[in-house]
Amino acid sequence: MFAGPLQALVDELGRLPGIGPKSAQRIAFHLLKVAPEDAMRLAEAVVAVKERITLCPRCFNVAEGDLCAICTDTRRDGTVLCVVEDPRDIVSVEKTQEFRGRYHVLHGALNPIEGVGPDQLRVKELLVRLDDESVTEIILCTNPNLEGEATAMYLARLLKPLGVTVTRIASGLPVGGDLEYADELTLGRALEGRREVDA
């Protein structure tokens, strides 16, 4: 439709997640217009990520080179592991500034329909860490949806017999939320997880 290389770029952009045909066109024409060095910076950033980013061999967070920044930080508490589905979830937890332990990234959640079982996740590697490291608590921080809950349940059953404390992040109303707009499942969980008020 467009001149060869332009159409090729539109096609490649259209393969990215969340980019429809119109967005792909818009981005391609944007790149056509910007200064060559700006476009080159993008191309080089793609190449650099493929060449230099690896997974941390211990926690499977993204890393540059060997261990990730959190695993190499000796000030982090090695006795508490926060288990997440995705490296991006680490950023979310870090932002809370409530957690000073280490992480373990599963790279997905159990999903039998899509063929994701425990063998497709980094579960074996988690068990190895329990043997090697002095872990006393595991916080299951998978998403509070169907797959995340199933994964948390599976891991809890697997890990509890090994003598570690296994906890799950709380479900409930979001802070600043409104009872009127809460769905019944969330409100039910909030009631179930109620705590005595210190007064």
C-beta of 88 vs 160, nearer to a second copy: 88
C-beta of 69 vs 162, nearer to a second copy: 69
Distances in Å between the alpha carbon of 150 and those of 110, 147, 160, 164, 185? 7, 5, 15, 19, 16
Q: Tell me the closest approach of the beta carbon of residue 161 to a second copy, in angstroms.
A: 33
Q: Tell me the closest approach of the beta carbon of residue 32 to a second copy, in angstroms.
A: 6
Show the CA angle centred on residue 124, arms to residues 119 and 127, nearest 5°.
Answer: 150
Q: Are strands 53-55 and 101-105 parallel, antiparallel or unpaired?
A: unpaired
Q: Tell me the closest approach of the beta carbon of residue 46 to a second copy, in angstroms.
A: 4
Whole-angstrom distance, CA of residue 187 vs CA of residue 173 = 7
- Which residues sit at the interface with a second copy, rule CB under 8 A? 1-6, 8-9, 11-13, 15-19, 23, 25-32, 36, 38-53, 62-64, 68-69, 86-88, 91
C-beta of 86 vs 137, nearer to a second copy: 86
C-beta of 28 vs 138, nearer to a second copy: 28
Burial of 47 (0-12, 13-18, 19+ CB in 10 A): exposed
Q: Tell me the closest approach of the beta carbon of residue 36 to a second copy, in angstroms.
A: 5
